[in-house]
């Protein structure tokens, strides 16, 4: 491939952070090239590392990384196949089984050997033996601090948030959690159904409570019920997971608040009032 010439480049829709191109080489190989003129330092290196870590788990289809630099990343092209009706239900079942397998790739601590990104925001991954402490100090607290700097954390939100942080041990049973390998940004736009089965892209990997991935999958919709049913059949969830779900969704809601503004404020407030009120 290193001697092949570029035959064509086609801009693709849907990239909210980067410009994305489908690249055809003279050898017949098709690639994806993601480019950003001013990414955060280490942005594409972190993406490449996350994709390789997911690949190593051999649970789901993950695009191969060919190269990554400061301003871009070159990936394997995975053709997507639209799914409807019975096909969508079947695809959901296969994805659920694959995610359950991914979550059985365990680490020795919560976090990850390197920091990475959630969207374009830094995601610190300093490792910890306590999941509750990790989620409090390296997920919720940094986003709350950023929200305060951006002017989104008014006095009531701050008070409720601090109370929620103090109460986390009430809602999280450490004895029921293991450090599972997480995709970390599991919304429906990061799921592709290919001729070879389900694939995941654009990760924000770390080791944490597997319920986090499922909480994100529930948050914005787009996954068929068969996905959740299949996951639970292959890796049953601990009692109380529905009660914990909004606590884990709070991280992603705060990320969206910080990236996109007050439109996400009411959803943040509902979680804060429920668990910190």
Say if CB 263 and CB 253 are below 8 A apart.
no
> Structure tokens of 254?
């705060």
- Cα separation of 53 and 45, whole Å? 12
- In terms of domains, do 105 and 162 share one? yes
Looking at the fold, whether 51 and 112 belong to one and the same domain comes out as no
Question: Does 158 have pLDDT greater than 90?
Answer: yes
> In this model, does residue 139 exceed pLDDT 90?
yes
Q: What is the pLDDT of residue 26?
A: 84
Claim to verify: residue 33 and residue 93 sit in the same structural domain:
no
Torsion of CA 91, 93, 98, 101, to 10 degrees: 180
Among 42, 76, 110, the domain boundary falls at 76
And the tokens for 118? 């959630």
For 233, left (φ over 0), alpha (ψ -120 to 50), or beta?
Answer: alpha
Average pLDDT, the chain: 95
The verdict on 50 and 183 lying in the same domain is no
pLDDT reading at 13 higher than 90: no
Residue ending a domain, choose from 76, 100, 122? 76
C-alpha triplet 52, 58, 60: angle, nearest 5°:
90
Q: Please report which confidence band the pLDDT of residue 14 belongs to, taking 50, 70 and 90 as the band edges.
A: low
Average pLDDT over residues 129-141: 99
Q: What backbone phi and psi angles, to 5 degrees, belong to 76?
A: -60, 140
At 179-192, the pLDDT tens digits run 999 999 999 999 99
Q: Which CATH number do you get for residue 192?
A: 3.90.1200.10
14 burial type by CB count under 10 A (0-12 exposed, 13-18 middle, 19+ buried): exposed
Reported as a pLDDT band with limits 50, 70 and 90, residue 245 is: very high
The answer to whether residue 29 is domain-embedded is yes
Residues catalogued as catalytic: 185
Q: 236 lies in a domain? A: yes
User: What's the domain range around 28?
Assistant: 6-76
Whether 246 is covered by a domain: the verdict is yes
Other beta carbons less than 10 A from residue 240's beta carbon:
13
């Amino acid at each position: 491939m290193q001697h092949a010439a570029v035959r064509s480049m086609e801009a693709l829709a849907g990239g909210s952070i980067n410009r994305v191109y489908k690249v055809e080489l003279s050898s017949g190989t098709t690639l994806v090239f993601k480019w950003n003129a001013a990414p955060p330092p280490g942005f594409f290196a972190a993406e490449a590392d996350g994709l390789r870590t997911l690949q190593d788990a051999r649970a789901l289809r993950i695009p191969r990384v060919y190269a990554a630099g400061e301003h871009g990343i070159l990936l394997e092209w995975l053709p997507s196949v639209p799914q409807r009706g019975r096909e969508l239900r079947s695809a959901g079942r296969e994805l659920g089984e694959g995610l359950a397998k991914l979550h059985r790739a365990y680490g020795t601590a919560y976090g990850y050997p390197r920091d990475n990104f959630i969207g374009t925001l830094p995601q610190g991954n300093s490792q910890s033996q306590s999941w509750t402490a990790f989620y409090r100090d390296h997920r919720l607290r940094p986003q709350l601090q950023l929200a305060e700097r951006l002017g989104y954390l008014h006095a009531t939100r701050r008070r409720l948030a601090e109370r929620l942080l103090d109460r986390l041990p009430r809602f999280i049973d450490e004895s029921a959690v293991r450090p599972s390998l997480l995709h970390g940004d599991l919304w429906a736009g990061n799921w592709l159904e290919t001729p070879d089965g389900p694939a995941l892209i654009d990760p924000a990997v770390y080791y944490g409570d597997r319920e986090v991935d499922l909480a994100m999958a529930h948050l914005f919709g787009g996954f068929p019920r068969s996905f959740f049913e299949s996951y639970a059949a292959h890796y049953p969830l601990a009692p109380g997971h529905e009660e914990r779900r909004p606590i884990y969704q709070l991280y992603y809601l705060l990320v969206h608040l910080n990236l996109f503004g007050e439109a996400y404020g009411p959803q943040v407030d509902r979680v804060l009032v429920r668990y910190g009120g």
